[in-house]
Chains A and B, each alone.
Chain A
Amino acid sequence: MLIKRQRYPSIKEHQVTDEAVYQQRRQILKQLGFMGAGALLAPHQSLALNLFGDDKPKFKTHPLSYSKQENHGETLTPFNKVSGHNNFYEFGTDKADPKANAQAFDIDPWLLRVDGQVEKPFSLSLEALYKVAPLEERIYRLRCVEAWSMVIPWIGFPLKALLEKAQPLNGAKYVAFETLYDPKQMPGQASVFRGGGIDYPYVEGLRIDEAVHPLTLLAVGLYGNSLPPQNGAPIRLVVPWKYGFKSIKSIVRIRLTDKQPPTTWNLLAPNEYGFFANVNPKVDHPRWSQARERRITTGGLFTNNRIDTLPFNGYNEVASLYRGMDLRRFY
């Protein structure tokens, strides 16, 4: 027998019904016409739901408790843009696809494995993801390789906190990440036409010194709540000084290795996407200049939002990690 667990957090049944009726109230009234509002009583509810109901499931996020960060003057990208403009090819290649296709994404149960070159490999359940370390807000710039950027209030904890629990061995030089592979839930993985020709699962990697840098975050939420599915629920990486594609979503495995791990976009087009992928205004992508970027906040077409792109996306404190490296070669 299949026992289906309720999605976290559990929702009381009466709430669901009430909301569905509430949302359909005008339509139901119209349909019932002269029969009036009195006909809204119980027998008609199922009918209303079947015929006119919006039966699309809605992913539920939940509020998190965390320590707030003061915003130092940068305008935040509004929540509806952060959660409505996503590159998450597992749910389709159009920027609006992930929001449209990911609402039924079931993240419970979830299992994040941490293993490889470590003393103590372990796994985390969904509930445990929120308890690895005290959650903190981090307002970070996100620079996409496509030359647009956002400012996002993430909630999470340093990746370092997780890695320390596993106690990396001396041989651990790199950290490899892997996204969930579940073609039943992710239409982009099920169809080569919808997934942009990527070889799934999506994989990413960091050098160990990058991984333990205090800026490197494992995010479990944004804007006060747990992550929406299109932003990489339940847990994702955020490396603010690298192009967005490094910040892998919906992670199920973190493996410490002695060799540089393969990374998805680098495998697909090595001349366009390097392993490091540090934000660098001096090194262009073959198809677009990286010197400047369009900052997405509010406002339509006539918003003047082109700004200079800064080395390491303005996070100069990481520059020392790359001292002596030719960043034109290691792009």
Chain B
Amino acid sequence: MNLSRALSRRSIEWIKFFIHSLSLSWAAVVFYQAATDQLGGDPVEALLHFTGISAFNLLLLCLSVSPLAKWLRASPLMQLRRLLGLYAFTFACLHLLSFVMFELQLEWQLLMTEIIKRPYITVGFSAWVILLLLAATSTKAMQRRLGKQWQKLHNWVYLAGPLIALHYIWSVKSDIFQPVVYIGLLAILLFCRKDKFIKTTYCVNEKRG
């Protein structure tokens, strides 16, 4: 059976609809619970964890699209990549926003010193900046304008992933089990791309899209 043919335009649209509704409704429910004090003893901590881990989950999903498409020979799946990446960025923004608004409660000066002084925050913030650049250049128009440089820029996601993993394992006190599982998953997804990293100089010549 050819999966490419089975994955009609319509079914891709349904998957996209599913991604949209799940991400948005889940975020809405959790924010509502946090705002109305129904999210455990400390809604701020719970919200920070939820938004952070969701961003990481979505990034891992995004990174698994191309190995999966290759393995299943289902190229239409590639159309999901940008959407998943943008939602990873959205949740990263909600994570940063929650930290600034609810943890630091708009103490901007403290935000600056925390970004500089605390390595795990420096690393997390750097990852967010990378995701910001990728999101800002994610449109077709930007893709066209940047030409060969576009792929080069978007390869930075392979740095953002490890930075996020480092941010995560650095932020926990001693319970490193879950972060280690995430690092393992990320390592597998990066290993799938080992040929790409070896031929990195040719990356710019790869077909775009």
Contacts and interface: CB of A to CB of B under 8 A. Distances in A.
Interface of A: 80-81, 84-86, 89, 93, 95-96, 146, 148, 192-194, 196-198, 268-269, 284, 286-289, 292, 294, 296, 298-302, 304-306
Interface in B45-73: 45, 47
B118 A268 contact: no
B43 A301 contact: yes
A197 B176 contact: yes
6 contacts: A81-B41, A85-B42, A287-B171, A292-B110, A301-B101, A306-B105
Interface string B24-36: 0000000100111
B10 interface: no
B145 to A, nearest CB: 40
Contacts of A299: 37
Interface string B99-136: 00111110100100110011010000000000000000
Interface in B7-36: 31, 34-36
A302 B35 contact: yes
Nearest to A299: B37
Given A300-B34, A301-B31, A304-B105, 4 more contacts: A84-B41, A89-B174, A287-B118, A289-B113
A294 B103 contact: yes
Interface of B: 31, 34-45, 47, 101-105, 107, 110, 113-114, 117-118, 120, 170-171, 173-177
Contact of B42 (A193, A284, A296): A296
A37 B194 CA distance: 67
A269 B47 CA distance: 27
A242 B69 CA distance: 55
A300 B36 contact: yes
Nearest to A86: B41
Given A196-B174, A287-B170, A306-B105, A298 B37 contact: yes
B175 A196 contact: yes
A5 B177 CA distance: 37
Contacts of A198: 174
Contacts of B176: 197
A81 B43 CA distance: 11
A192 to B, nearest CB: 8
Nearest to B110: A289
Given A89-B175, A287-B120, A289-B110, A95 B44 contact: no
Given A85-B41, A300-B43, A197 B118 contact: no
A292 B37 CA distance: 22
B114 A289 contact: yes
A300 B35 contact: yes
A140 B114 CA distance: 29
A296 B41 contact: yes
A276 to B, nearest CB: 19
B122 to A, nearest CB: 11
